Amino acid sequence: MRVVIVGAGLIGLTTAHVLTQAGAEVVLVERSVVGSGAARGNAGQVCPDQATPMAKTSLIVSALTQVYRKDSALHVSAGTLPGYLSFLLKVAQNSVPSKYAANLAALRQVESVATQAFLDFAEEIGVDVSNKGYLHVYSTQEAAREGRKSTLARLADSQMPHRVGEVLDPSSLVSIEPTLNPTGYGFLDEGSFFTNPIHYVETLHQRLVDAGVEIHEGTGATSVTEREGRQVLHTTRGDFAGDSIIITAGVGSADVAAASGCRFPLKPGKGYSFSVKLDRDPLYVFKFESAHVAGLPLGEKSLRIAGTMEFDGDRDRFNASRIRQIVAAVGPYLPSAALESRSEEWVGARPLTPDGIPVVDKLPGLSSTYIAAGHNMLGLMHAPFTAEILKDMVLRRGMLRHRQFAASRTF
């Protein structure tokens, strides 16, 4: 069977590997380069218990009160706000407590399976995963206590083992993580995992190359049609025919699906990151909660700092002010010299759905074209699980077993 996959990000690369291992002939088509979009620059977190829907009351309050502040972690460009109104209205509707609870339950149904699938897959391809946990850092003791309380409440019905430590003062925090400045309060949550997304992408890319997978970079997909029982992908560089087509193009998936007869709400929420060099290796993932920023240890004394959410309608445009916002937000906690000499500044668009749940389904009107998109900030953790769903649907013609992922659902 010949399968054409659109998009070489986390979902596309993982699915390509899973299908290749299952004996399929895979062709990978990518509008930019392998691992672009949100694949390489994310914070590498595999934390099922913190996987909550984006649409919540606190987000709506933040949007209304801070949206035009330049130092806000959430930023909506005034010029593009009209184009987001329908989407943001759906987000607001999904933030109603009853709807939020239902969306959270839909994610929690698959959290343990998705996490184990990721751990098994990472071991299979030789990617290291750390379970040292996350260090939650706050600006005040009161905020840290409230954060710990919320964390314990969230973990009360968790299917994953966790150990949440007591709130530490600045000196105690630095004693367990010497790379921090003695300015914050926090606690350690042992039980969540993290990995280096760059290593994940590069490992998969090399495995696909070694397996002889045909990869076409710089090739933008436009639509899918059906011709004599074959699925045909139309691109900026010609047509690609296959027995099946899978659209895993991140935020670009909605445009390809719409041109192929299926519409669903998907918008880019841009995140930014950069790397800093410290005087030693950090031990944990940092969750700078007061700043809404994460820090991921990359090895070799390097720390990836990632955060912010920007809606500006242009998924590729780099806005240097968002980097400055992150630097200012984490400035109290990290050495100023490290922040001033930062490198590898990056922007990537997270594919957001208004209910926080991805779309993994067969496209209506086409006999064998599928879509997997809208993983929000869970693309890394959900990639192997999603790939297995797609393998079952594509190779075995199985039905979608997880109806919460249906493209036809009410968002």
pLDDT for 277-334, tens place per residue? 999 999 999 999 988 899 999 999 999 999 999 988 888 899 999 999 999 999 999 9
- Does residue 20 sit in the same domain as residue 145? no
HEC-encoded secondary structure of 187-207: EEEECEEEECHHHHHHHHHHH
pLDDT band at 62 (very low <50, low <70, confident <90, very high): low
Note whether 284 and 342 are same-domain residues. yes
Instruction: Judge whether 347 lies within some domain.
Output: yes
Determine the residue type at 306: A
Q: Distance between CA 305 and CA 295 in Å, rounded?
A: 5
**Alpha-carbon span 393 to 370, nearest angstrom:** 9
Higher pLDDT, 36 or 121: 121
For 297-306, letters b (16+ CB in 10 Å) and e give: bbeeebbbbb
pLDDT one-digit tens code per residue, 360-392: 999 999 999 999 999 999 999 999 999 999 999
In a domain, 174, yes or no: yes
- Tell whether 142 is covered by a domain: yes
Question: Which tokens hold the place of 141?
Answer: 């003791």
Q: Pick from 330, 351, 372: which residue ends a domain?
A: 351
CA distance 38 to 9: 7
Number of domains in the chain: 2
Task: Say if residue 19 is in the same domain as residue 54.
Answer: no
- Report yes or no on 101 lying in a domain: no
Q: Are strands 2-6 and 359-362 parallel, antiparallel or unpaired?
A: unpaired
- Domain boundary pick from 351, 382, 397: 351
Put simply, whether the predicted model's pTM sits higher than 0.85 gets the answer: yes
CA nearest to 302, candidates 284, 328, 282, 329: 282
The reply to whether 64 and 141 lie within a common domain is: yes
Take residue 388 and report the two structure tokens written for it: 């297995």
Residue 81 sits in the same domain as residue 158? yes
Domain of residue 8, CATH code? 3.50.50.60
Answer yes or no: do 68 and 154 share one domain. yes
pLDDT of residue 405: 96
Say what the pLDDT of residue 58 is.
65
185 within some domain: yes
Domain-located, residue 240: yes
**Does 140 share its domain with 67?**
yes
Instruction: Answer yes or no: is 303 within a domain.
Output: yes
| Longest alpha-carbon distance in the chain | 70
Nearest 5 degrees, angle CA 261-CA 253-CA 201? Answer: 155
Q: Are 256 and 244 contacting, i.e. CB atoms less than 8 angstroms apart?
A: no
Q: Are residues 149 and 295 in the same domain?
A: yes
pLDDT bin (cut points 50, 70, 90) of residue 66 is low
CATH value at residue 82: 3.30.9.10
Report the half-sphere exposure of 278 (CA within 13 A, side-chain side).
23
121 belongs to a structural domain = no
Does 124 score more than 90 pLDDT? Answer: yes
My answer on whether 183 and 282 are in the same domain is: yes
Asked if 93 and 99 touch (Cβ cutoff 8 Å), the reply is: yes
Same domain, 219 and 232: yes
Q: What is the pLDDT of residue 63?
A: 61
| Structural domain boundaries enclosing 247 | 2-40+199-263+355-405
Residues 308 and 362 in one domain: no
| pLDDT band at residue 79 under the 50/70/90 scheme | confident
% of the chain residues with pLDDT over 70: 96
Q: What string of H, E and C letters represents the secondary structure of the chain? A: CEEEEECCCHHHHHHHHHHHHCCCEEEEECCCCCCCCCCCCCCCEECHHHCCCCCCHHHHHHHHHHCCCCCCCEEECHHHHHHHHHHHHHHHHHCCHHHHHHHHHHHHCCHHHHHHHHHHHHHHHCCCEECCCEEEEECCHHHHHHHHHHHHHHHCCCCCCCEECCCECHHHHHHHCCCCCCCCEEEEEECEEEECHHHHHHHHHHHHHHCCCEEECCCCEEEEEEECCEEEEEECCEEEEECEEEECCHHHHHHHHHHCCCCCCCEEEEEEEEEEECCCCCCCEEEECCCCEEEEEEECCEEEEEEEEEECCCCCCCCHHHHHHHHHHHCCCCCHHHHHCCEEEEEEEEEECCCCCCEEEECCCCCCEEEEECCCCCHHHHHHHHHHHHHHHHHCCCCCCCHHHCCCCCC
Same domain, 17 and 144: no
Q: What is the pLDDT of residue 60?
A: 65
